[in-house]
Amino acid sequence: MQPKKVTKIGVLTSGGDSPGMNAAIRAVVRTSLYEGLDVFGIVRGYSGMVDDDIHQMDSRSVANIIQRGGTVLKTARCKEFFTPEGRQKAYENLKKRGIDGLVVIGGDGSFKGAQKFSNEFDIPCIGLPGTIDKDIAGSDFTIGFDTAVNTAVEAIDKIRDTADAHDRLFIVEVMGRDAGYIALHSGIATGAENILIPESSTSIEDLITNLTEKSKRKKLVNLVVVAEGDKVFGGAENVSKTVKERIPEADTRVCILGHIQRGGAPTCLDRLIASRMGYAAVECLVQGRHNVMVGIVNNQMHYTPLDLAVKETQTIDQEWLRIVKILAS
């Protein structure tokens, strides 16, 4: 069957915000206009589809946004969209404007919504991986990850300065409820002595032994980087409690970086990949390649069917964990 021709595209951002989303929106809008298509911005993700908060965009709509963090289209989580009635309302709002293609910028939950919506109403959807966690399979990078990890690195570098001044042990918590990529990359880049992530179980005894051994070697400055979703300890506060109980002589401090990692101007890399992905998303719809997630693998565009993208997660290569062990010794 010949895929139907797309003439009007809707674009939305959904789930957690990530730096670079605006660059992706800009690329979708301007590529659509270049291809002679009408393009509509859907405000607050799927909530905007249900509530009919949809407006047509032109080139000026996306002027001066590529350098901004967050998302000019806003984002929200929408329980109503995950009901048949909510999706029907969303479809009617698209239908009355003639919108016959969607670009969804978000994470796993956003793609699940897009997949279900497309299957029910035969509206082709293209997913762009917008999440700081880099936990979606099918792309070497996700939009926002590079900025978030650089924000964490900058903060941890500053923490190391004060740790050195006072001979302290700092336990730094970064974002990553289910994925440890921010902790892993920022920990390696800042020379952390221990990195605790959900994908790898570091036992309490191993951590205490490691810190005790370094103390014996008169290594007075220690950094432990922990992902918020670490399965063994459950975050920096619990790590600190354990360390204080087992190594009471250690001058221990906790720093939770929190939502600072989501904000700020996107890095050059995030602007570039978001622009490439946004352009490729529109080209997919024009060429009849539907219901895929656009990613970049080995610096080449890579397309993963949405039904696979929602099932698979990015796994951490064991070599990274070996690098951590060797470089922190």
Active site residues: 133
CB 143 within 8 A of CB 277: yes
Rounded Cα distance between 41 and 123, Å, is 16
DSSP H or E stretch at residue 300: strand 300-305
Structure tokens at 26: 């800009």
Residue with tokens 């670079």: 20
- Name the 3-class secondary structure at 125: strand
Phi/psi at 18 (5° precision): -150, 140
**CB atoms closer than 10 angstroms to residue 257:** 21
Nearest Cα residue to 191 out of 217, 161, 212: 161
- Name the 3-class secondary structure at 292: strand
Q: How far is CA 212 from the centre of its chain?
A: 35
